[in-house]
Structure 1
Amino acid sequence: MARAGLTAERLTRAGAELADEVGFDKVTVAALARQFGVKDASLYSHLKNSQDLRTRIALLALEEMADRVASALAGRAGKDALEAFAHAYRDYAREHPGRYAAAQLRLDPEVAAASAGVRHAQMTRAILRGYDLAEPDRTHAVRLLGSVFHGYISLESGGSFDHSSPGTQETWARVLDALDALLRNWPAP
């Protein structure tokens, strides 16, 4: 019998909070059971295994990020939209480092196709409408933006920029200026 009050949703949210506290790589069914003061077996009526928990946290993080980015993008275009998207993405990673790491989890293709990851791609493509890029350059630009944002956030959160000048905020602003300039002047093949 399932312990009263435990649901897959509650366990997923608790797992996401735990990921933010201790790191996504340390989230397991056993760690979550300890947090609730129950035996691991108590959670298996709600979760298949640790991979199921990790996937659920990843899906939650993707949904939260997509909601945040969608709110930030409302009514914006061009560089304004690019900056809003980038700031929402970076702010989420700073506020929820474990969830952000979860959002990078490689998902089963069927799960990924039904996830908010699709919304992320659509919103990135929406930003690029302000830059008049045709295919396949639009796809190249989506990949470029994802790579730059994730790369910068990963290096920053790992402390790579801590002991250098100028500050990370100034560099972030210049990176966004450079991306805007590149997207406005996309090189011909």
Structure 2
Amino acid sequence: MSPRIGLDLKTILQAAIEIADAEGLEAVTLATLAKKLTIRPPSLYNHIDGLAGLRKQLTIYGIEELKNCLSRAAVGRAGDDAIREMGEAYITFVRNNPGLYEATFLSLDADDIQSASSDVVQIVVRVLDHYGLNEVEAIHATRGFRSILHGFASIEQKGGFAMDLDLNESFQFLIDTYIAGLKKLNESK
């Protein structure tokens, strides 16, 4: 069977992202994707290697998009400003792309996924150079930053912040506290 004209990997991924963002990642199946694209499910196999192949492509695409957001946020900035902007970019990415963000956490063992993830880590490590951390401390601080961002984003997505207090103020407080910790660590050297 020849591929449908106009159907390509980009179109398939965009449709899958729309489903994931609207209904959650679990709603993305070959059947729901084919229905959205008004094609028969076997037509998808001309472009992807089944559901596993689709999920791998979504993961790579999501990580690349997150990397691009963080990179744009960090460009031309350093230290506190870069961390604040990257934090904002991360939270905005999650708010705008909840299903795609969920795909970035699929545990797929592939070199291209590991490479894309490593690129994200390197962006943060470079920003943390401003604080005079050694290599090990920079990795710990990167893990801490990711944990703060993911934790906040995940709780927000699940509606877990029910108190009548501005979420953006809470987020800024959290980032400021993280920055204060980095500065304290640097001062203690």
AA aligned opposite 1:158: K
The answer on whether the counterparts of 2:15 and 2:37 sit within 8 Å (CA) in structure 1 is no
Q: CA deviation at 1:2?
A: 1.6
Deviations 1:132-177 (A, max 9, x none): 111311111111111111011000111000x203221111010011
- Matches of 2:110 and 2:11 in 1, distance apart? 25
Q: CA deviation at 1:127?
A: 1.5
AA aligned opposite 2:21: D
The answer on whether the counterparts of 2:58 and 2:103 sit within 8 Å (CA) in structure 1 is yes
Q: CA deviation at 1:83?
A: 0.4
The answer on whether the counterparts of 1:13 and 1:57 sit within 8 Å (CA) in structure 2 is no
Quote the residue 2:124 is aligned against: 124
In the alignment, does 2:69 pair up with 1:68?
yes
The answer on whether the counterparts of 1:23 and 1:97 sit within 8 Å (CA) in structure 2 is yes
Q: CA deviation at 1:63?
A: 1.3
- Matches of 2:92 and 2:121 in 1, distance apart? 18
The answer on whether the counterparts of 2:59 and 2:113 sit within 8 Å (CA) in structure 1 is no
Q: Moved runs in structure 1, 4+ residues, more than 3 A?
A: none
1:16-95 counterparts in 2 under 5 A?
Answer: 16-95=17-96
- Matches of 2:147 and 2:74 in 1, distance apart? 20
- Matches of 2:115 and 2:170 in 1, distance apart? 35
In the alignment, does 2:160 pair up with 1:152?
no
- Matches of 2:55 and 2:133 in 1, distance apart? 36
Higher helix share: 2
In the alignment, does 2:163 pair up with 1:164?
yes
- Please give the root-mean-square deviation of Cα atoms over the aligned residues, in Å: 1.6
- Matches of 2:12 and 2:153 in 1, distance apart? 27
AA aligned opposite 2:185: W
Q: 5+ residue gaps in structure 2?
A: none
- Matches of 2:5 and 2:110 in 1, distance apart? 34
Deviations 1:92-130 (A, max 9, x none): 100111111111222314132332x22210111012111
TM superposition score normalised by structure 1: 0.93
Give identity over the alignment, percent.
31
SS at 1:174 equivalent: helix
Quote the residue 1:113 is aligned against: 114
AA aligned opposite 2:176: D
Deviations 1:7-62 (A, max 9, x none): 12221121112211111121111110011122111111111111111111111111
The answer on whether the counterparts of 1:28 and 1:53 sit within 8 Å (CA) in structure 2 is no
- Matches of 1:58 and 1:109 in 2, distance apart? 10
Quote the residue 2:138 is aligned against: 138
